[in-house]
């Protein structure tokens, strides 16, 4: 090589993009910041899809939604300073629900530390550490690929969850010899498996039980175990319930599906399951409150979780198995042929009857011509409209998500996206963005409350710019429904405060972003409006005015004893809405 020849070099942005592509990442959710341009330029050259949102919170929620709907890691890239602070809520939402996402954050140059640079002056790592599995800073370009590989491993192995990697600008824009650059490679990791003794014990107990039950959570979905679970259920005749993250692990129109965990709440304890196999679902709010658990105290419970520390939370467990749910289900399926499995049609029918009881009760609670429109009719009509196996339903809002969940039938895992333990509103449209990108041939509908839709409303612009024909249905009861109804139950109708919104033309606002918009006031117009929205071929907002006086049963249940006592102390206890009674000390 002559003296005037120069060695080819690449920058940190090229290393980031090539490492992500090597790990199977095809789509990144982001919002522009100058700290990130090296990544964006390489993505442009190498075909990594960038979906830019209008707020970093929405980019984080979309990465979360991508993981929930695909079962694979979601990636968001945000700029330094306010870009990182804006994404914290989305990261926290993924953290409490154990969803694997990688957030890459820009950072002011290392050389400017303690100089009060632009978008610096605070520790982004200290901000992120409490709500991530792992958070780190890359300090050298030759370590960048190593850190990215470690971040992706941390997000997706063991208990899934969010990780945060910040890349200072002087590292990202630095150049290194292309011939010696490392891009990392995916590690082949064999997930933990159950012992032969554990598999035999579970099979023996399930075969001998009178009312066995499988309760599936997100661990089955992220453990790639849904197909094996269906085969095991069919081989044994054991019915399956699923929580929000595991919903449709068994299609909900399957003869062995009993719906969600709440099905058990409608059964008398002595008619509930006697043996439960809890697969990748934690024992918390969504398996029943401390005072009224869904699983009867007398039931024998086998709990499988990839994170052993989760086993035994809140109740006694017969046997805990710290293993990957996908591995366990495959092992159970392989051993099922060694046992005789009795006919349990009566038990399965009892579960399906309990599941359908709430729908029957809700259907009987109003007339089809109810004006203003009953929220359950809106959700029921929407559920009936979404009859294709490939349809995706996203639900956002306190009471709105209840109406949608209680009415819908989901047939594919990852095709129901809604709230989790954080109770975070505003996830709906960003989740729908991710779902439509991930499933371009599917119809995607987001049903959202009028309170929730305001939190990330500008993402209608994201839908329009990226040509994503999501239909957003606004359950517009002119208020923060769960909040106002809770206040009314607690304090009376004259004591509501900061919970009213009034009639807002969200449809017209969406039209301003280039979307199709409709206002619906008559229940007979719901289906025709949906037909026109999908026929438009554009993102759409169907703004449905619903009855503000209808209180969802979930609100009554969550306010509970607090409403009965007016929130006053009783027998040495303080009674709280949403949390029940607690002893005072």
Give pLDDT, residue 58: 98
Residue 570 lies in a domain: no
Phi, psi of 547 (to 5 degrees): -70, 115
CB atoms within 10 A of CB 47: 9
Per-residue pLDDT reduced to its tens digit, 458-517: 999 999 999 999 999 999 999 999 999 999 999 998 899 999 999 999 999 999 999 999
Give the domain extent around 13.
Answer: 9-180
Check if the beta carbon of residue 165 is closer than 8 Å to that of residue 104: yes
Q: Does residue 142 sit in the same domain as residue 208?
A: no
Is the bond into 372 cis (omega within 30 degrees of 0)?
yes
Query: Is 41 marked active-site?
Result: no
CATH number of the domain residue 507 falls in: 3.40.50.970
Q: Where are the beta strands (DSSP E) in 43-125?
A: 49-52, 74-78, 101-107
Catalytic annotation, pick one of 12, 13, 33, 35? 35
Q: Does residue 321 sit in the same domain as residue 223?
A: yes
H/E stretch holding 198: helix 196-208
Q: Does residue 128 sit in the same domain as residue 63?
A: yes
Query: Is 119 marked active-site?
Result: yes
- Can you spell out the DSSP letters for 415-471? SEE---TT--SS-HHHHHHHHHHH-TTS-EEEEEEHHHHTTTTTHHHHHHHTT--PE
Catalytic annotation, pick one of 34, 121, 423, 492? 423
Q: What span, in angstroms and rounded, lies between the C-alpha atoms of 145 and 125?
A: 19
Could you say which of 132, 147, 180 is where a domain stops? 180
Report the SS3 class of residue 562. helix
Residues with Cβ within 8 Å of 149's Cβ and at least 6 positions away in sequence, in order, are 19, 23, 184, 185, 186, 187
Q: Does residue 165 sit in the same domain as residue 22?
A: yes
Q: Does residue 382 sit in the same domain as residue 490?
A: yes
Check if the beta carbon of residue 234 is closer than 8 Å to that of residue 256: yes
Query: Is 56 marked active-site?
Result: yes
Could you say which of 326, 354, 382 is where a domain stops? 354
Report the SS3 class of residue 29. strand
Give pLDDT, residue 36: 95
Q: Does residue 331 sit in the same domain as residue 238?
A: yes
Residues with Cβ within 8 Å of 113's Cβ and at least 6 positions away in sequence, in order, are 120
Residue 575 lies in a domain: no
Write out the two tokens for 509. 């606002």
Residue 569 lies in a domain: no
pTM metric for this prediction: 0.94
CATH number of the domain residue 230 falls in: 3.40.50.1220
Residue 187 lies in a domain: no
Nearest in space to 216 (alpha carbons), one of 263, 259, 249: 249
Residue 296 lies in a domain: yes
Could you say which of 111, 145, 180 is where a domain stops? 180
Q: Give residue 4's pLDDT band: very low, low, confident or very high (50, 70, 90).
A: very low
Q: Does residue 144 sit in the same domain as residue 259?
A: no
Give pLDDT, residue 552: 93
> What is the β-pairing status of strands 540-545 and 516-520?
parallel
pLDDT above 80 (res 134): yes
Q: Does residue 115 sit in the same domain as residue 220?
A: no
Radius of gyration in angstroms for the set of CA atoms belonging to the chain, rounded to a whole number? 25
Residue 4 lies in a domain: no
Q: Does residue 292 sit in the same domain as residue 324?
A: yes
Q: Which residue has the higher pLDDT, 289 or 121?
A: 121
H/E stretch holding 297: none
Alpha carbon 573 to its chain centroid, in Å, reads 34
Check if the beta carbon of residue 301 is closer than 8 Å to that of residue 272: no
Give pLDDT, residue 2: 44
Average confidence (pLDDT) over 430-444:
98
Catalytic annotation, pick one of 119, 124, 303, 487? 119
Q: Does residue 150 sit in the same domain as residue 214?
A: no
The residue whose two tokens read 């002559």 is 2
Per-residue pLDDT reduced to its tens digit, 139-148: 999 999 999 9
Give pLDDT, residue 579: 72
Residue 320 lies in a domain: yes
End-to-end CA distance of the chain: 80
Q: Give residue 181's pLDDT band: very low, low, confident or very high (50, 70, 90).
A: confident
For the chain, how many structural domains are there in total? 3
Q: Does residue 386 sit in the same domain as residue 532?
A: yes
Per-residue pLDDT reduced to its tens digit, 9-52: 999 999 999 999 999 999 999 999 998 999 999 999 999 999 99
Phi, psi of 320 (to 5 degrees): -105, 135
Q: What span, in angstroms and rounded, lies between the C-alpha atoms of 343 and 332?
A: 19
Per-residue pLDDT reduced to its tens digit, 266-310: 888 789 999 999 999 999 888 876 667 889 999 999 999 999 999
Average confidence (pLDDT) over 222-236:
97
Burial state string for 69-101 with b = 16 or more CB within 10 A and e = fewer than 16? bbbbbbbbbbbbbebbbbbbbbbbbbbbbbbbb
Residue 495 lies in a domain: yes
Q: Does residue 389 sit in the same domain as residue 538?
A: yes
Average confidence (pLDDT) over 531-558:
95
């Amino acid at each position: 090589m002559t003296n005037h020849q120069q060695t080819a070099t690449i920058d940190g942005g090229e290393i980031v993009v090539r490492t992500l592509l090597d790990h199977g990442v095809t789509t990144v959710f982001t919002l522009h910041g100058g700290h990130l341009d090296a990544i964006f330029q390489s993505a442009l050259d190498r075909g990594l899809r960038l979906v830019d949102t209008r707020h970093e919170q929405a980019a984080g929620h979309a990465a979360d939604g991508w993981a929930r709907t695909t079962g694979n890691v979601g990636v968001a890239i945000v700029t330094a300073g306010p870009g990182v602070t804006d994404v914290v809520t989305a990261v926290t939402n993924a953290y409490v629900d154990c969803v694997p996402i990688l957030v890459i954050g820009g950072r002011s140059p290392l050389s400017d530390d303690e100089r009060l640079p632009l978008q610096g002056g605070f520790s982004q790592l200290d901000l992120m550490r409490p709500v991530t599995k792992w958070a780190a800073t890359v300090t050298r370009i030759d370590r960048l690929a190593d850190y990215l590989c470690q971040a992706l491993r941390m997000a997706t192995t063991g208990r899934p969850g969010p990780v945060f990697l910040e890349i200072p600008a002087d590292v990202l824009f630095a150049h290194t010899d292309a011939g010696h650059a490392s891009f990392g490679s995916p590690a082949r990791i064999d997930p933990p498996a159950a012992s032969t003794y554990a598999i035999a014990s579970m099979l023996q107990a399930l075969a001998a039980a009178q009312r066995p039950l499988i309760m599936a959570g997100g661990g089955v979905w992220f453990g790639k175990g849904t197909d094996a679970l269906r085969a095991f259920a069919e081989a044994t005749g054991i019915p399956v319930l699923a929580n929000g993250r595991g919903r449709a692990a068994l299609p909900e129109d399957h003869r062995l599906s009993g719906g969600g965990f709440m099905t058990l709440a409608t059964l008398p304890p002595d008619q509930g399951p006697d043996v439960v196999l809890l697969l990748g679902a934690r024992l918390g709010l969504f398996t029943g409150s401390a005072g009224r658990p869904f699983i009867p105290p007398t039931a024998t419970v086998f709990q499988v979780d990839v994170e052993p520390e989760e086993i035994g939370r809140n109740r006694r467990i017969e046997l805990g198995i710290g293993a990957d749910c996908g591995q366990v289900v495959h092992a159970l399926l392989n051993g099922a042929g060694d046992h005789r499995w009795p006919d349990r049609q009566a038990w399965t029918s009892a579960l399906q009857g309990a599941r359908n009881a709430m729908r029957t009760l809700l259907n009987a609670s109003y007339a089809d011509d109810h004006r203003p429109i009953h929220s359950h009719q809106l959700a029921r009509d929407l559920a009936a409209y979404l009859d294709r196996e490939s349809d995706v339903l996203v639900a956002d809002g306190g009471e709105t998500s209840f109406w949608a969940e209680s009415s819908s039938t989901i047939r594919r895992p990852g095709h129901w996206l809604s709230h989790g333990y954080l109770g975070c509103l505003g996830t709906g449209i960003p989740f729908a963005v991710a779902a439509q990108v991930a499933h371009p041939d599917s119809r995607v509908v987001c049903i959202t409350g009028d309170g929730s839709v305001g939190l990330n409303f500008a993402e209608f612009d994201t839908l329009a710019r990226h040509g994503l024909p999501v239909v957003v249905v606004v359950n517009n009861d002119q208020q923060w429904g769960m909040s106002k109804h809770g206040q009314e139950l607690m304090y009376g109708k004259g004591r509501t405060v900061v919970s009213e919104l009034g009639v807002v033309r969200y449809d017209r606002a969406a039209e301003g972003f280039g979307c199709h918009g409709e206002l619906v006031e008559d229940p007979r117009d719901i289906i025709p409006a949906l037909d026109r929205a999908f026929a438009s071929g554009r993102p759409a907002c169907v703004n449905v005015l619903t009855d503000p006086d209808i209180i969802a049963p979930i609100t009554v249940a969550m306010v509970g004893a607090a409403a009965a006592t007016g929130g006053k102390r009783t027998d040495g206890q303080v009674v709280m809405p949403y949390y029940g009674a607690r002893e005072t000390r």
